[in-house]
Chains A and B, each alone.
Chain A
């Protein structure tokens, strides 16, 4: 079992941030005309004053109950290799296109089958519970994976604030709809806004988190700022980004990818090497961990529930996971 108590190192200490920043400075070299790291940062701040407050803002965190000792995916890869179709369908697109994305003011509306519907301000969400470091494996449906030190707290903490009613069975998450800021939403690649969903018991599971940061810092825009969910035993697209609405429902919501291609992306989308994507295998995965070119040739075997079977398999007892893929 790879799930362990986290090592006694805060994520902020293992951040190879200096490497990332010097690289950024190098790339920005032409624009900054050799003015160096500080000048480069200054320029970025001037270009987008809002970005200064969020991306890179240090968060004070405590150790979370789950972790893994696998090699972390470098910060640079977590922030330049993104699937965030609201901004771009290219992996390196969101980092550029989301640069000036406004994450303040930001509110998240909790509604539906709840006793106390309520709208939360993002800064209240940040203070609702101690922020935990949670190092999770992240498996994309496309066949690559990362190990990411997220920052957040159990999603159940937020949901309990509004007292879900007894007949609530599902939770629906809605991403911001703002074609002005999100150029991908001006195309019809997907039916916007992006919708994801979980069964209520999945959402209440202690592994499912409401996530506000990574590597000990506030979420970079391209990773779903200012608030997203992370559900580590499911394919990455289930972990909705930049959430503005959470709705409790009696009926199973229709999530965006399921609607786009029902035979390829199920509602559950639990990581499962036994159920291939119709067009490619899910038996193995390519781990992105900065180990270098030749090391990345060797793929890792994909594990049921992304290796979190001991924690979550009982949620699906008696279910045919080939049918409910």
Chain B
């Protein structure tokens, strides 16, 4: 197997570790006094962390000159979506007990819920169009435009996190700084294309699909 193949074999179960840890703690009643809050926070944290890792791959690949790193982007991005689904499910099931009326009011009245839902919904088309077939059907350029929604989703997720906290914002700020750096890198590439040489931004798409 290739290096990429082996690494994927390792990263896949690694991305499941947070879920395994959470499941183990839930099964052994070790989630603390407020287990539902603990699950909400953990799944939310991991969604955001994996979104940031996904967004870090392109800068890392370019700065280190290791083009093969792109091969992990889709997998990690889909894991971010997976934890986002768990976070969403935690909200509609464990937190709201499927109370549609209460959820509708929440989404309408509470900006932090509205933004969380926005961040999640924006990831859905990205997950749906993550297959090689969909990339071919959309065409690289259009696909790439669509997938820039991840920037909006990540910003919405950070603000959602900030507004969810009572007062102590140091963690949302830390995540926000990381996101800021990752987005700033892209802005620099966009404003100063000559600095970055002849690399075309559409190039990675074919790689992203090819694995």
Contacts and interface: CB of A to CB of B under 8 A. Distances in A.
A and B: real partners?
yes
B197 interface: no
Interface in A114-162: 141-142, 144
Contacts of B110: 279-281
B34 A261 contact: no
A92 B38 CA distance: 11
A144 B32 CA distance: 13
Given A89-B167, A297-B97, A281 B34 contact: no
Nearest to B113: A280
A288 B34 contact: yes
Interface in A54-88: 73, 76-77, 80-81, 85
Nearest to A289: B33
A26 B115 CA distance: 42
Given A89-B168, A189-B167, A298-B97, A81 B36 contact: no
Given A142-B166, A261-B167, A80 B35 contact: no
Nearest to B31: A293
B166 A81 contact: no
A12 to B, nearest CB: 22
Contact of B32 (A81, A89, A141, A299): A81
A288 B102 CA distance: 21
Given A279-B112, A280-B110, A281-B106, A91 B32 contact: yes
Interface of A is mostly: loop
B94 interface: yes
Nearest to B38: A91
B86 interface: no
A315 interface: no
B35 A296 contact: yes
A297 B34 CA distance: 10
Nearest to A237: B166
Contact of B163 (A276, A279, A297): A279
Interface in A274-322: 276, 279-281, 286, 288, 292-293, 296-299
A77 B94 CA distance: 20
A293 B35 contact: yes
Given A279-B110, A279-B112, A296 B163 contact: no
Give me the 8 closest cross-chain CB pairs, A-B, nearest first. Answer: A81-B33, A77-B33, A89-B168, A288-B33, A293-B35, A189-B168, A297-B97, A297-B94
